[in-house]
Structure 1
Amino acid sequence: MSNTGVNKWPILNYETLKDTIANVHMWTQMIGKIRLVQTPWINHSWHVTLYISATGLTTGSIPYHDGTFQIDLDFISHQLHITTSTGKTCHFKLGAFTVASFYDQLFNSLQTVGINVEISAIPNEVDPAIPFRENNQPATYNAGVMNNYWQALVKINNVFTEFRAGFSGKCSPVHLFWGAFDLAVTRFSGRTAPKHPGGAPNIPLEVMQEAYSHEVSSCGFWPGSDQFPQPAFYSYCYPTPGDFGSQKVSPPEAFYDTTMGEFFLTYDVVQQAANPEKTLLQFMQSTYDAAARTGNWNSNLQCDFSDLKNS
């Protein structure tokens, strides 16, 4: 499914992706909600996210009683793995399950290894929000398509991690928010922000306001939608200065969407570039510069730790 050549980024096509991604999106919502209820609240909902792993997506360690457990979606062997600190494990094969069927298999597997959790079994940030147990709509899981998408996430994760390293101020991990199924990294100015007005579907206002309690500049990657049928990188800031969207950014294919209030760069532009990593870093850096310049951020927050790597 991916391009020839070890350094090439895989080709992504929304029409090919969308059905498998829609299904996996619901799986990650269930898994993320398990992490949410078992983990102490960390600012800006950082305790709910998933991470890119060497095989797919992972929760990382989740507290439970006097130990931990971990849930992994493996997009190489196409299995879900549950691992506990007591030595108990369980797994099942991924496939074209309905959302309701996956929900039953997931929670039955958790009980098998001695984990009993309850979640709010309704998806967030989607509309309509069909309860997991009631969603018996036909579902798709194309293993090759999902592996290809995950390979793209691996490439993107590495660039996001490099970008994150160039900032000495408060900065989020590089993590996947299962609400909108986007990989993101966020920088903070250190100043508080006006209360966020909310607006995301099926997410409490107080959660949105806590997430945006401080000034941010955020970059991310998103698989697209029927309204915007292209995988794309985005960059926004909150609050948004009036002249943010008029700033010059790179590469030249990047554009500002006045409706969304964000800069965008389609994945195709990066994938087809002579140096995809450099092209993506240009987008991330130039849009951050636009936010910092128009928002009057402290210029000393950028840093270079490269000399320490060889010390």
Structure 2
Amino acid sequence: MTLDWPDIPYGAWQKTCSALHLYTQVVGKYRLARTPWVNHSWHATLYVNSRGFTTSLVPDGGGGVEIVLDLLDHAVVGATTDGRTAGFDLGPMSVAAFHHQFVKLIRQLGGTPEFHGRPNEVPQPIPFEEDRAERPYDAAAVTRFFQACVAVDLVMKRFRTSYLGKVSPVHLFWGSFDLAVTRFSGRTAPRHPGGIPALPDDVTHEAYSHQVSSAGFWPGGAGVDFPAFYAYAYPVPSGFADAPVTPEAAYFDANLGEFILPYDAVRQSNDPVARLMAFLESTYRAAADLGGWERHALECKTGIPRQPRAI
């Protein structure tokens, strides 16, 4: 795979990133409000597509509504199964202005613009309609971030193929603004203590109802001041923090309780795909081995196009 791994220094576009995070929350909350609940909140997420982030088809209106955050042409685009389209441009604006235009767009599409109006998983959340501070929009930085997400998404999807057990889609959680993939051992987990800021505990309890090994990608701002990959286990098995993982640039962050691999350590390597795969595989093995997973029954070879699994 030949992929583009652009430079995306967090400090250079931090304010734009914060705005984009909140815009994805508005879009994600619309999908959440209209879509039947799926285990671990998988029904609420966004996905990388050829233009940016998509809701996929949301059951609303006369059949379905799809919303795309187009991060190449910098627009919000909506389309319905009966042929209607609507959209508006992304640019410098307030969250309140984005929310207003998004509600108008959903009405134009014949949808139902009724959803929870306050951000999740951010400190001191301000209701969308009341967040009138003007925010910048660095279009070039947004596109570079999207291109990085494309590369990460494709590698995570490849990693996902080597697991026969329950595994999540590769998806964008708009609450924490991370692209993530999660493997499950099949065993139930102790009740999660909850306490995640601006997130109902019953959502957290359901999300972590089973033993997991999870990995993902942040643009920055989630306990780190740089773009990074993370990996964690729940429940955390004894010795996890001291487990040997690769590549050398990976380390355990005691404050976050997770392994961290700086994005630049992947981007600047001779083989970014192999380096990221090493991190994903080694952190999973640490969680599975120390957590007593039945790996022999859960794993398989990495998927190859046009080649069915041997049974």
Query: Is the structural similarity TM-score above 0.5?
Result: yes
- 1:241 aligned to 2:237? yes
Report the counterpart of residue 193 of structure 2 in structure 1.
197
| Structure 1 counterpart SS, 2:185 | strand
Report the counterpart of residue 157 of structure 2 in structure 1.
161
In 1, Cα distance between equivalents of 2:263 and 2:226? 7
- C-alpha displacement at 1:17, in angstroms? 2.3
- Over aligned residues, Cα RMSD in angstroms? 1.3
1:127 to 105, 119, 123: 123
Report the counterpart of residue 220 of structure 1 in structure 2.
216
In 2, Cα distance between equivalents of 1:236 and 1:133? 35
Give per-residue Cα distances to partners, 1:79-137, cap 9 Å, x unaligned.
Answer: 11000011111011111110000000000111112112311100000011000000011
Report the counterpart of residue 17 of structure 2 in structure 1.
21
- 1:116 aligned to 2:132? no
Report the counterpart of residue 75 of structure 2 in structure 1.
79
Change over 3 Å in CA distance of 1:135–1:247 after alignment to 2: same
Residue identity opposite 1:62 in structure 2: V
More deviation in 253-262 or 282-291? 253-262
- C-alpha displacement at 1:8, in angstroms? 4.2
- 1:303 aligned to 2:306? no
- 1:145 aligned to 2:141? yes
- C-alpha displacement at 1:7, in angstroms? 4.2
Q: TM-score, normalised by structure 2?
A: 0.96
- C-alpha displacement at 1:65, in angstroms? 4.8
- 1:88 aligned to 2:84? yes
Structure 1: segments with no counterpart, 5+ residues? 1-5
| Structure 1 counterpart SS, 2:59 | strand
Change over 3 Å in CA distance of 1:306–1:184 after alignment to 2: closer
In 2, Cα distance between equivalents of 1:66 and 1:114? 7
More deviation in 299-308 or 190-199? 299-308
- C-alpha displacement at 1:297, in angstroms? 0.4
Matches for 1:32-71 after TM superposition, within 5 Å: 32-71=28-67
Give per-residue Cα distances to partners, 1:155-184, cap 9 Å, x unaligned.
Answer: 000000000001000000000000010000
| Structure 2 counterpart SS, 1:59 | strand
Residue identity opposite 2:225 in structure 1: P
- C-alpha displacement at 1:270, in angstroms? 0.3
1:261 to 257, 261, 264: 257
Structure 2: segments with no counterpart, 5+ residues? none
| Structure 1 counterpart SS, 2:182 | strand
Is the CA contact (8 Å cut-off) linking 2:4 and 2:151 kept in structure 1?
Answer: no
Is the CA contact (8 Å cut-off) linking 2:161 and 2:303 kept in structure 1?
Answer: no
Runs of 4+ in 1 over 2 A off after TM superposition: 305-311
Report the counterpart of residue 98 of structure 2 in structure 1.
102
| Structure 2 counterpart SS, 1:67 | coil
Report the counterpart of residue 170 of structure 1 in structure 2.
166
- C-alpha displacement at 1:140, in angstroms? 1.1
- C-alpha displacement at 1:229, in angstroms? 0.8
Report the counterpart of residue 3 of structure 1 in structure 2.
none
- C-alpha displacement at 1:64, in angstroms? 1.4
Change over 3 Å in CA distance of 1:280–1:21 after alignment to 2: same
More deviation in 170-179 or 134-143? 134-143
In 2, Cα distance between equivalents of 1:74 and 1:306? 30
Is the CA contact (8 Å cut-off) linking 2:35 and 2:43 kept in structure 1?
Answer: yes
In 2, Cα distance between equivalents of 1:93 and 1:200? 33
Change over 3 Å in CA distance of 1:290–1:227 after alignment to 2: closer
Q: TM-score, normalised by structure 1?
A: 0.96
More deviation in 297-306 or 37-46? 297-306
